[in-house]
């Protein structure tokens, strides 16, 4: 791309929207516009004081401007774009539903006291990473130019690095669990002869169509996704 604006405009809609909201949330925090405690996921405040916005806003805070924030934002851009332009090409509603299902799954998991996390943005990013690693399992990934490994193992490698650098384990683990749940229900279970019980609801398709986001579903892409070996992933070109 010849300019940052052209690069930004080239991003697929759902990835662009989520990345933009995360960037705006951190920028507003750095400018002192709000206190992160006011958007954190605190269930007693959600149910006793009806602060329902916490169920949504906690997904957009990735921390202050730092190396870790930059890595998370790059993960959204890289893996979100490759998913939305690859396995989910012309399936914008399905990609949005994956994000919605991931968010709902993380809210349920975080309700367990031992798994609670005040901000689930990192978990949602890790869900994207996990689904990407299952769709492109044989892609070769270099970690900081030191180690090269298959994409299938990347979520676990990133989790291990976070532990080494002192970051909390729970957000990463929650994302991996939510990602595996989505992938199992939509890919592995149908390929083993089961029924896809996680089809994208019609209201999501209508919402995408009303907002004019992305493209209408491609029946060939949908058929291709439900064929092939259960654990081999699908082949897509990595840009």
pLDDT, tens digit, for every residue of 133-170?
999 999 998 887 778 889 999 999 999 998 888 888 99
* Closest to 104 measured CA to CA, from 213, 201, 215, 207: 201
* CA dist., res. 153 & res. 116, Å (int): 25
Asked whether residue 239 is domain-assigned, the answer is no
Cβ atoms of 179 and 130 closer than 8 Å: yes
Asked whether residue 171 is domain-assigned, the answer is yes
Asked whether residue 157 is domain-assigned, the answer is yes
From residue 105, alpha-carbon distances to 10, 55, 167 in Å are: 30, 12, 22
Domains: count for the chain:
1
Residues spanned by the domain of 188: 4-225
Phi, psi of 140 (to 5 degrees): -90, 125
The enclosing domain of 98 has a CATH number of 1.20.1540.10
Asked whether residue 81 is domain-assigned, the answer is yes
Asked whether residue 202 is domain-assigned, the answer is yes
Task: Find residue 149's DSSP bridge partners.
Answer: 141
Asked whether residue 146 is domain-assigned, the answer is yes
236 pLDDT exceeds 50?
no
Asked whether residue 238 is domain-assigned, the answer is no
231 pLDDT exceeds 60?
no
| pLDDT for the residue 215 | 59
Asked whether residue 233 is domain-assigned, the answer is no
Helix axes 170-183, 121-135, angle to 10 degrees: 40
Helix axes 92-110, 202-211, angle to 10 degrees: 120
pTM over 0.75? The answer is: yes
């Amino acid at each position: 791309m010849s300019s940052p604006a052209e690069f930004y405009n080239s991003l697929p809609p759902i990835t662009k929207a989520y990345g933009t909201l995360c960037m705006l949330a951190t920028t507003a925090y750095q400018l002192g516009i709000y206190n992160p405690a006011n958007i954190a996921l605190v269930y007693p405040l959600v149910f006793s004081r009806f602060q329902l916005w916490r169920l949504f806003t906690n997904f957009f805070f990735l921390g202050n401007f730092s190396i870790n924030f930059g890595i998370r934002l790059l993960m959204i851009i890289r893996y979100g774009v490759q998913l939305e332009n690859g396995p989910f090409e012309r399936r914008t509603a399905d990609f949005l539903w994956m994000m919605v299902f991931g968010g709902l799954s993380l809210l349920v998991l975080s309700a367990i006291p031992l798994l609670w996390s005040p901000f689930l943005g990192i978990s949602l990013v890790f869900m994207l990473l996990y689904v990407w690693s299952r769709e492109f399992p044989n892609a070769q990934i270099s970690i900081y130019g030191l180690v090269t490994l298959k994409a299938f193992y990347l979520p676990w490698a990133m989790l291990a690095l976070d532990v080494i650098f002192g970051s909390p384990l729970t957000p990463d683990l929650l994302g991996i669990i939510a990602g595996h749940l989505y992938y199992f229900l939509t890919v592995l279970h149908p390929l083993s002869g089961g029924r896809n019980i996680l089809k994208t609801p019609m209201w999501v398709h209508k919402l995408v169509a009303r907002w004019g986001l992305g493209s209408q579903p491609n029946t060939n892409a949908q058929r291709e996704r439900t064929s092939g070996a259960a654990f081999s992933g699908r082949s897509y070109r990595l840009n």
